[in-house]
Amino acid sequence: MTVTRVLVVEPHAPETELLTAPAIREAAAILRRGGLVAFPTETVYGLGAVATDARAVARLFAAKGRPADNPLIVHLAAAEDAVRVARDIPPEAWRLWVRYAPGPLTLVLPSRGTVAPAALAGLPTVAVRIPAHPVARALIRAAGAPIVAPSANRSGRPSPTTAAHVLEDLAGRIDAVVDGGPAGIGLESTVLDVTRRPAIVLRPGAVTVEMLEAVLGDGAVVDPAAPLREGEAPRSPGMKYRHYAPDVPLALLDLEDGAGAAVEALRALLAGSGPPPAVLATEEDAARLRALLAAAGVPSDRLRWVIVGRRSEPQTVAAALYGAFRSLRPEAVSRAFFVRLPETGLFRAVMNRVRKAAGDPPFPGQDAAPAAPAPE
Ligand code: TXA
Ligand code: MG
């Protein structure tokens, strides 16, 4: 068992200052020696290893318990560095990077073959991201190498948004975590496959389809979350379904259609013995549901309310989601309900993660997720 060191940095320091901070120099030295270091990014915490170091990559898969067929994202400090790991980079990629690099956008590109093959799960493509978080950027630059970094959770668990979440999952299994405070957005990057035309969103994130199409043009991006057009075959994102599962069963609760059914389901559950159910909802939706329960005479004092941000400020919902999932303990709650949000803007990414955590298809209109395998 490894002793996991916690290296604390000042999260608001500029990148140039962080480059020489003792914690970053130490973390970079650990990476260069083949170690595993978790660090904050503007999306979630990542677990870093040098991308060209096959032994480090093997250790990384083992530490996460990640299936060998799920490839990793290569993190670079600058878009120009992509030529070191990818080849035949299409013009679409450069146009997107002009607008969204650095940032929460990952592009799938043809691989140059310079990264450890295990990191790419043997695929001919490589996923590339240029993170915006100064701590991540300083660490990549100090290490002087491309860094693979999956989310720093045990496979199957929600992604970590704080160093404490990382330690919850990986203490004793990784060499260090750089604690730079909470990650910003709280959801993983948008993954866009630009080796295909139209490009296809493999994972929705903070860079929305509307934002991608603003650069590439209308119709240049396939959004698996959009309703199927008449006669269109089901869209397969060509990616394994993954779960961000809390430790108790999760289901969706709809307050638009079927509020009555939701109220009756909660009435029945609250009448039973054992731990009560939890409701995950925005401040606004929680107030609405409280009023509905009161009007129906359902005593809701035993209900566990987990407030997940404000509906009027979608970024607060994204930032709170995984912490809310992690707070659900089977000793305290029997099961959990998430009050459904509209599939617009950033809520599309939020609902994609919630549906997967609930074991539902990640995008509406697709077949249900296979029971196994279910990494992430
Ligand atoms: O925001 C993020 O992207 C975070 C931070 C740490 O950067 N990282 C992250 O990595 O979420 P991970 O490993 O948890 O998710 C990477 C996703 C997986 O769904 C993986 O299947 C997909 O990217 N992926 C990686 N390489 C790919 C490839 N060559 N083709 C298709 N999908 C790929
Ligand atoms: Mg992950």
Distance 111 CA to ligand 1 centre (A): 15
Distance CA 346, CA 357 (A): 17
With a pLDDT cut of 90, the percent of the chain lying above it is 84
The structure tokens listed for 16 are 């140039």
Q: Which two three-digit tokens encode residue 321?
A: 């989601």
- Work out the mean pLDDT of the chain and round it to a whole number: 92
Q: Does the C-beta of 129 come closer than 6 Å to ligand 1?
A: yes
Å from CA of 344 to ligand 2 middle: 23
Binding site for L-threonine: residue ranges? 43, 75, 129, 149, 189
How many C-beta neighbours within 10 Å does residue 33 have? 11
List pLDDT tens digits, range 5-27. Answer: 999 999 889 999 999 999 999 99
Q: How far apart are CA 158 and CA 15, in angstroms?
A: 28
d(Cα 363, Cα 205) in Å, to the nearest integer?
13
Residues 45, 162 contacting (CB under 8 angstroms): yes
Ion ligand 2 residues within 5 Å by Cβ = 151, 376
pLDDT of residue 142 exceeding 80, the answer is: yes
Cβ–ligand 1 distance for 46 under 6 Å, the answer yes
pLDDT at 274 over 60: yes
Asked if residue 151 has its Cβ within 6 Å of ligand 1, the reply is: yes
190 close to ligand 1 (CB < 6 Angstrom): no
- pLDDT bracket for residue 272 (50, 70, 90): confident
Prediction pTM value: 0.93
Check pocket membership of 188 for ligand 1, CB cut-off 6 A.
yes
Kindly give the distance from the C-alpha atom of residue 369 to the centroid of ligand 1, in angstroms, as a whole number.
Answer: 18
Encode pLDDT of 336-366 as tens digits: 999 999 999 999 999 999 999 998 766 655 5
Return the percentage of the chain with pLDDT > 70, whole number. 91
**What confidence score (pLDDT) does residue 200 get?**
94
Amino acid at 161: T
Q: Confidence class of residue 375 from pLDDT cuts 50, 70 and 90?
A: very low
CB 115 within 8 A of CB 126: yes
pLDDT at 196 > cutoff 50: yes
Q: Is the CB of 72 under 6 A from ligand 1?
A: yes
Residue pLDDT, tens place only, 83-99: 999 999 999 999 999 99
Whole-angstrom distance, CA of residue 8 vs CA of residue 181:
9
pLDDT of 25-58, one tens digit each? 999 999 999 999 999 999 999 999 999 999 999 9
pLDDT at 231: 64
Q: How far is the CA of 35 from the centre of ligand 1 (A)?
A: 20
Q: What pLDDT is recorded for position 235?
A: 57
What domains sit in the chain, N to C, each tagged with a CATH number?
5-222 (3.90.870.10), 250-358 (3.40.50.11030)
Is the pLDDT at 243 greater than 80? The verdict is: no
Looking from the CA of residue 126, the nearest atom of ligand 1 is: 29
pLDDT tens-digit profile of 303-332? 999 999 999 999 999 999 999 999 999 999
Looking at residue 244, its pLDDT comes to 72
Among 233, 207, 254, which Cα is nearest to 360's?
254
| Most ligand 1 atoms within 8 A of CB, residue of 61, 100, 106 to mutate | 106
Q: Over 200-230, what HEC string results?
A: EEEECCCCCHHHHHHHHCCCCEECCCCCCCC
278 within ligand 1 shell (Cβ under 6 A): no
Tell whether ligand 1 has an atom less than 6 A from the beta carbon of residue 130: no
